[in-house]
Structure formats: C-alpha cells, structure tokens
Amino acid sequence: MQYVIIYHMPYLLILILVLLYFLNLGSFQVWSPNEAFYADSAHRMLQSGDFVNPHYNGELRLNKPPLTYWLIAFGYSLFGVNEFGLRFMHALLGLGTGLITMLMAKELTGSWKVGVFSFLVLNLSVQFFANSQYASPEVPFTFFITLSLYLWLLYYKRGYLFLLSLAFFASSLAMLVKGPAGFVLPAGTVFIYLLLTDLKELLKLRYYILSISALVLGLWWHVYQLFTKGSLFWEVFYRENLKRVYDGGEPIYFYMADLNVSFLPYSLIFFPALFWVIFKLRKEYAFPLVWFSFIYALFSLIAQKIPVYVMPAFPALAVITSGFLLSEDWKRLKKYLGLSLSLLISVLIGVAIFVFGAPKYFLLLLPLPLVLHFKDYRLSPALAGILLIAFLKLGLLPELESYRKVKELGSYIRTLDPNNSKPTYQIGHFHHNLPFYAQRKIIRDQEPQKGALIVFKAGTFEGCEPTKNFKLYIGSESRLFRFITDTKKGKRFEEFGVCLY
C-alpha cells in the first residue's frame, strides 16, 4: 500500500497543484501598478469594441502588442469583468505550458516520468507560478515560445511540414504578445541547435519562406501602429525594445544568481543537473541545453535585466532538472540538496507565520516534506513548494488583502457619482488600479475644476472637506515582498480623502 501511494505521489501532487492554480485566483485585488494596465485596457476594449488600439485610463498605450489584452478580454467575456476573469487565461496558459513541457520531455527522453516531473518542476517554480496568477505578458509569451519549439521538434522528428508551419504560427502569436523577441527566441534556439547538430537542415528553403510569413503575421500590429501613429509609436517601441539593450547597470551574472530564488523549489538542483548533462554527454538533453543557454546568454548580454525576461527558458530548465532527478547518478548529492531545499522552504514558511501573524495551523503541515524526503527525496521539494503556494494563497495574501482599500475606494466613487458625470481627480499620488475599480478615467497631475470629484492625499488639497477617508499604500504592490514588510511595519501608508469640489 505504501509503495502504491509513493508510486502515484507525482500525480497526486499535480492534481493538488492544478487546484491551487485556480484556488482564490479572483480573491485578490488588481495589483498596482503592472497588472492594472492590462485589467483596465482589456475592459476598455470590450466597452469600445476597439481591439487594435489599447487604452489605459483613457490614454493610448502602445507599450505591448494586443494579444495579452485579447486573452484577458476573453476571460472577462467568460466570467465577467472581475479579478477571476482577469487572470483565468494566465492560469490556464501556465498549466498549458506545463503540459507542453511534459510532452516535450517525453519526446526527448522517451520517459513519461521525466515528463511528469518536468510539469511539477516548471509549474511549481516561484517566478512561473507567480506570473500564472498575475495578468501580464510573461506567461502567454512563454506558452507560445514553448509551443513553437515543441511543434518544431515534432516536425524535425516526423517530417510533417504542417507541424513546421504551426511552429512558425506559434512564433507569430508570441510576437503579438511581446514583439520581435517572439521570433528571435525560438528561431535563435533552433538555428544554434541545427548549426551544432545538422547543418544541412538549415539550408532548406522552407525555413526562410515560413520566417517571412511568420514575421508578417506577428508584426502586422507594429507596422499598422507605425503607419498610423508615426513617431509616437516609434518612441514607445524604441524605449520598450531597443533602449533596454544598452541602458542598464546590472551585472552579467544577474540571471544566474536570480535563478536561485526564481526557480525554487528546485533551483539548487538545476546547477548540478547542468553539469550532469554536459559532462555525461546526455545527447537527449542537447535541445533544452541549447534553449536554456541561448536565452540566458542573450539576456545576460542585454544591459537592462528584469527577472521575467528569461522565463521562456524555464521549460528547458525543468526538463534538464527532471532528467537529472530521475537518473541514477549522484544520488547522495541529490538527497542532500533535496533535503536542504525542503528545510529551507519549511523554515521560510515557519518564520513568515510568526513574523506576519499568519494562521498557525500551517505549522502542522511543515514536517510533511521532511517525511516524504525519506520516502522519495525527488518529490520532497515539490511538496514543500506546494505548501509554500498554499500558505501564500490561503494564509498570507488573504491577510494582506485587508490592507488594500483601492477597490473599496473605487466602489465609493461610483456611489458618489454613479453616472460618471463628474470629472474625477487624484492628487498627491496616483493608484494605477483606481481607473479599473472606479470604472472611469482618473485625471492626475492637474489642477481640479469646480464640480469635480477629488481623491487627495492628506495635506495636498484644501478645497473641500472629505466625506470619507481611506488609508492607502503608495508603494508598488507588484514588489510583493517589500509590500508585505511595509504592511507589517505600517510604512508607506497615507491618508486619502474623497470629496465633491
């Protein structure tokens, strides 16, 4: 009986993980500032019927192509304009990326078990999971990059041209999420891999014909905006894509260092897995090795470094890590690292429980990864990662939500002005998620006119007495750890009043 439970444990963990991806997905307010851009813009697309020109807070926003907004708008159409609808497609595409990674691992290694572990390793990684719960371009971008590479791999092994066509089409969709990088990343990975393994394949004309087609399909929005908006679009495109190449000061090893945190709970195991693939000459992992190496090298050379930039390489990391975990090599090292990771995460949860006053019943669950370690050391970090996710979604974030009052403020504004007949201003600080919750444009950095509705930070406006006050955070909620610590210390919270001027 015990053997049966351990044998089926990976599948049980996957089931729990899938449930956690959707559990409380809509229970948390829109995170400010980054998620707010997509929440409000997709809502305005549905209202206006203009799905080509994204607008945030009444202003044209050309920072990213429209596919992320379309995905959110689809979620809204299914579940309503709310937080669950906002994030539904991101959670679904996060799990979809895990599924493709599992299929790719099976294709490369012939082992379903490596595929199952790859699903767990990817979908539990801190950065990937967080972005699957958060409306931004990163998960859709990673999904389409992974899909493109998987379809190419199937084409390369089976020779069906329609699979290659679909691979290029998936790359076009990636371009409609984040621009030219959607072509560069899969094309660069395949090019380097073939350059090292099969130079004759690179000479086939079909690659270059399909590249032109993919670029036309993927960059039509950019061309349209360039012709219709001219220098306005070019300035945004230059800032978002080209300026970042040279404008930044992070060290070249930034991403390799960040991997220790962003790829938890299996981060420490990846580095010996990388050496294992190279020095054991495991040819079945050559493709994910090139995939990982190309993306990490490319973004390490780019001056501006943001952790999510390398997330399209995470499926490759997951396959390499899983293959190493399930190999017969270096068992003692893997047991030591698995125990260390499980202990680290359990200690972090335990400390957070006492520091932030989270529910104490989670303490009863903390020994479980250590118990599992002595049954299957390969799965104990996964169980620790699941406990971390459960702690965040059921213990810490619900408590944090009580300090977030912008949704309540938006509701109060709609009560004061249900027909949106008065211009609405915010003075002293701008909360990016307020336009979404107030369901109107919020005028900022301007002198308010008579007859307006004013939201103002205490001491910044004396034209009227507030009818209600709200204590609001003025930092970036997207920097979650800092937000949590500020909440605990009561830092960066200010009093805001609301009045009719």
Give per-residue pLDDT as tens, 260-310: 999 999 999 999 999 999 998 899 999 999 999 999 999 999 999 999 999
The pLDDT tens digits of the residues spanning 244-259 come to 888 878 899 999 999 9
Among 472, 456, 420, 427, which residue's Cα sits nearest to residue 441?
420
* Chosen domain end from 261, 292, 325: 325
Report cis status (omega within 30 of 0) of the bond before 33. yes
* 431: containing domain: 406-500
Examine residue 28 and state whether it is found in any structural domain, yes or no.
no
Percent of the chain with pLDDT over 70: 99
Q: Is the pLDDT of residue 1 over 50?
A: no
Are 416 and 436 in a shared domain? Answer: yes
Q: Which residue from 188, 189, 185, 145 is spatially nearest to 167, judged by alpha carbons? A: 145
Residue 440 contacts residue 420 (beta carbons within 8 Å):
yes
- Distance in angstroms (rounded) separating the CA atoms of residues 291 and 314: 9
Residues 336 and 481 occupy one common structural domain = no
Residues 461 and 320 in one domain: no
Task: Look up tokens 């009045």; give the residue.
Answer: 499
Is 27 inside a domain boundary? no
- How far is it, in rounded angstroms, from Cα 296 to Cα 284? 20
Give dist(CA 135, CA 133) in Å, integer: 7
Q: Assign 65 to helix, strand or coil.
A: coil
* Antiparallel, parallel or unpaired: β 442-444 and 59-60: unpaired
- Please check whether residue 437 lies inside any domain of the structure: yes
- Are 53 and 123 part of one and the same domain? yes
Distances (CA, A) of 302 to 136, 142, 241, 242, 346: 21, 19, 11, 10, 36
Q: Is 463 left (phi over 0), alpha (psi -120 to 50) or beta?
A: alpha
* Residues in contact with 471: Cβ distance below 8 Å, sequence separation at least 6, in sequence order: 405, 493, 494, 495, 496
Residue from 98, 99, 96, 79 nearest 25 by CA: 79
Confidence of residue 359 (pLDDT cuts 50, 70, 90): confident
Split into its structural domains, the chain has a count of: 3
Answer whether residue 29 is part of any domain.
no
Report the alpha-carbon distance of residue 158 to residue 404 in Å, rounded: 53
Taking only the tens place, the pLDDT of each residue in 2-58 is 454 566 899 999 999 999 999 999 999 999 999 999 999 999 999 999 999 999 999
The verdict on residue 67 lying in a domain is yes
In a domain, 51, yes or no: yes
Across the chain, what does the average pLDDT equal?
A: 95
Check if the beta carbon of residue 57 is closer than 8 Å to that of residue 50: no
Is the same domain home to 298 and 357? no
Query: What one-character DSSP code corresponds to residue 208?
Result: H
Last residue of a domain, one of 325, 343, 373: 325
Do 443 and 425 form a contact (C-beta atoms < 8 A)?
Answer: yes
The domain boundary, picked from 357, 384, 401, lies at 401
Of residues 480 and 437, the one with the higher pLDDT is: 437
